Structure 1
Amino acid sequence: MGIVCVVTNDGFLLPSAPNFRDLGGHRTREGRTVRSGLIYRSDALHTITGPDLDVYQGLGLRQLVDLRTHHERDRLPDVVPEGAEYAVVGVQNAEAAGANFVDLLSDPDRARAVFGGGAAERFMREVYRALVSDTEALDGYRELVERAAKGPTSLVFHCSAGKDRTGWGAALLLTLLGVDRAAVTEDFLVSNARQANTDRWMRQLSKDSQLPWEDVEPMTRVRAAYLDTAFDRVDEVYGSFDAYVAQGLKLSEGTLEALRTRMLD
C-alpha cells in the first residue's frame, strides 16, 4: 500500500498568525500516526490579538521555542502564553550576512548587492545549507528535538514567517518520526498559502529597498527545491540522514525513542 500524504489543519487556528498549525496528523511509513495537540509550528507570535488571544491561551502551551535572532526578538517580542516557558533557541548566526534582514533590506545599495538580479534564490539555498551544517543550527535543532521529546507539552516553535527555520525544524521532526519525504515536502509547502503577514511587511521592505518585487519574491515563499537543498546538504556533509542525526545533531537513541513514544500512536 502506498503512503497517503496528509496535510493537517487546512483551516486557520489563529488568523492573526496564519502559519500557526499542528504538526500532528501525518501517517508514518510504518502506518502509525503523529499525535495532534502536542507540537505546533508557527510564524511570528507578536501578532496574536483579539479573539485569537483566547484561543491561543486555551491551547495549553507549556513551551514557546523562539528560533529568531536577537534582531527580530528585540524588534517584535512574542506574546507568551500564560504558564509557558519561553526559550530562545537560535539556529542562525545572528551576525551572518542577511541575518539582520530588515536592516539589510532598508539599505538599497546593500539590498541590491545581496538580493538583486536573481540572487535572492541563491541566497535562500545558502540559508538552507547553513541550517543543516552551521554550528548554531546544529546546536539549536538538537535542543528543539530534545525539548519536543522530553520537555513539557504542548510546545510551539517559530521564526518570523514560519517557513524556513521553522520549516526545516518541522521537516526534521517529521522525518525523525518516520513520515515519508513526500508528506514532509507537502507539509513544508503549505506555508505558501499562509504568508499574508509576511507579504505585508516584505512589500514595504521591497519598496524601501527599491528592489522590484520579482527580486524579493523568492524570499517570501518556500519551494520544494529549498527543502531538497537542505536534504542534499545532509547527504553531502554526513552521507545520510541517520549520520546527520547521530554525528551532526548528536541526538541520543534515548531522545529519539522518547520523541517517538510521545508523538506516535
Structure 2
Amino acid sequence: MTNDGFLLPSAPNFRDLGGHRTREGRTVRDGLLYRSDALHSISEQDRAAYDGFGIRQLIDLRTHHERDRLPDLVPEGAEYAAVGVQNAEAPGANFVDLLADRERARKAFGNGAAERFMFGVYRDLVTEDEALDGYRDLVERAAKGPTALVFHCSAGKDRTGWGAALLLTLLGVDRGAVTADYLTSNERQANTDHWMRQLSRHSGLPWEDVEPMTRVRAEYLDSAFGHVDEVYGSFDNYVVDGLKLSGGTLESLRERLLV
C-alpha cells in the first residue's frame, strides 16, 4: 500500500474488500475481490502495482456511453466483461451529455432534484431488469470466474457501492460494516470532484446542486435496502426471487471468499 493509503493513487477508490469479519466469525479473504472507480486513468507510475494485484477478471459496470468514451486499461492476462447494471437509455444514464445541455441539466438536477435523482438511482439498482441481470452476473462471476476480480463503475461509489454491499451481505458481513465500507468512498473522490466540477461549470449549475451526486450518503444505501424489503419482503427473497441466485452459487461464493 502507498504512503497515502491508496493502493492506486491514480484510481483512488480501488480497494480490497478483504478483511471484513462475518457474523459467523469468518473473514473475507484478502487479495481476491477488489472494487474501484474507473480504470482508464491508471498512471504509468501505478501500472506495475496494478498489474501486480493478479487481476484475472475485470467487470465493468458502466453503460456503453461511458465505456466507449473512456475504455478501461485491462491488466495483462485479465478477462474483461462489460456487465451493465443500468438502462443505458434511461434519463440521466448518459450523464456527461445530459450535463452538457444546460436546460436539460437544470431540469434534471437543479433546485434539489439531484438528491431525488440519487434516491431514484438506488431504487432502480434494486428492481430494474438490467440491474437484476447485471448483479446476478457479478455474483456468479465472483463465485465461479477467475480471481482476483475487480469490479467498477465511474466513481466507484453507487453502482459499485451497491455491488459491494450485495457481495458483503451475501458473505455474512453485518450491515454496520457494509455501510462503513460504502462510506469510505467519500474519502476517495478526488477524480470525481475534478470532472464533476468541470461538468458543473459547463452546465451552469451551482456546485450545491451537483454535490449530492458526488458523495455517498448512508441514506442512499439505506433506501436501497429499504426498497429490497418493500418490493421483495426480505433480502433473502431479493436474492432468490429478484436476482435468481442458486444455493450452489452462494455456497461457492462463500467457500471461495471466506476463511
TM-score for the superposition, normalised by structure 1: 0.96
Distance 2:216 2:102 in 1: 24
- Within the alignment, does 1:45 sit opposite 2:44 as a pair? no
Match of 1:99 in 2: 93
Report the AA paired with residue 222 of structure 1: V
1:216 maps onto 2:195 in alignment: no
Partner in structure 2 of residue 22 of structure 1: 16
Please say if 1:90 is aligned against 2:84.
Answer: yes
How far 1:253 moved relative to its partner? 0.2
Task: Write out per-residue CA displacement over residues 1-53 of structure 1, whole angstroms, 9 at most, x where no aligned residue.
Answer: xxxxxxxx982000000000001100001111000100100000000012200
Shift of 1:124: 0.1
Are 2:238 and 1:244 equivalent residues in the alignment?
A: yes
- Segments of structure 1 that go 5 or more residues without pairing to the other structure are 1-8
What are the superposed Cα offsets for residues 74-128 of structure 1, whole Å, 9 maximum, x if unpaired? 0000000010000000000000000000000011100000100011010000000
Q: Distance in 2 between matches of 1:190 and 1:50?
A: 26
Q: 1:5 is matched with which residue? A: none
Distance across 2 between alignment mates of 1:10 and 1:263: 27
Cα distance in 1, alignment partners of residues 117 and 19 from structure 2:
32
Among 129, 144, 162, the residue aligned to 1:168: 162
Distance (whole Å) between structure 1 residues aligned to residue 113 and residue 239 of structure 2: 31
Aligned to 2:174: 180
1:149 equivalent to 2:138? Answer: no
- Which residue of 67, 75, 86 corresponds with 1:81? 75
2:110 maps to a residue whose letter is G
Distance 2:182 2:216 in 1: 8
Equivalent-residue separation in structure 2 for 1:236 and 1:93 (angstroms): 22
Read off the aligned partner of 2:188 and give its amino acid letter: R
CA distance in 2, matches of 1:150, 1:29: 23
Name the SS for the 1:137 alignment partner.
helix
2:7 is matched with: 13
CA distance in 2, matches of 1:31, 1:147: 25
Match of 2:90, SS state, is coil
CA separation of 1:236 and 1:10: change in aligned 2, threshold 3 A: farther
- Quote the residue 2:222 is aligned against: 228
1:3: which partner in 2? none
Q: How many residues align?
A: 257
User: Aligned equivalents of 1:10 and 1:158: distance in 2?
Assistant: 21
Of 244, 248, 255, which aligns to 1:254? 248
1:112 partnered with 2:118:
no
CA distance in 2, matches of 1:174, 1:91: 18
CA distances 1:172-228 after superposition (whole Å, capped 9, x unpaired): 000000000000000000000000000000000000000000000000000000000
Q: Which residue of 2 aligns with 1:4?
A: none
The CA deviation string for residues 119-144 of structure 1, in whole angstroms up to 9 with x for no partner, is 10100000000000000000000000
SS at match of 1:90: coil
Give structure 2 stretches of 5+ with no counterpart.
none
Output the CA distance in 2 between the equivalents of 1:10 and 1:261.
33
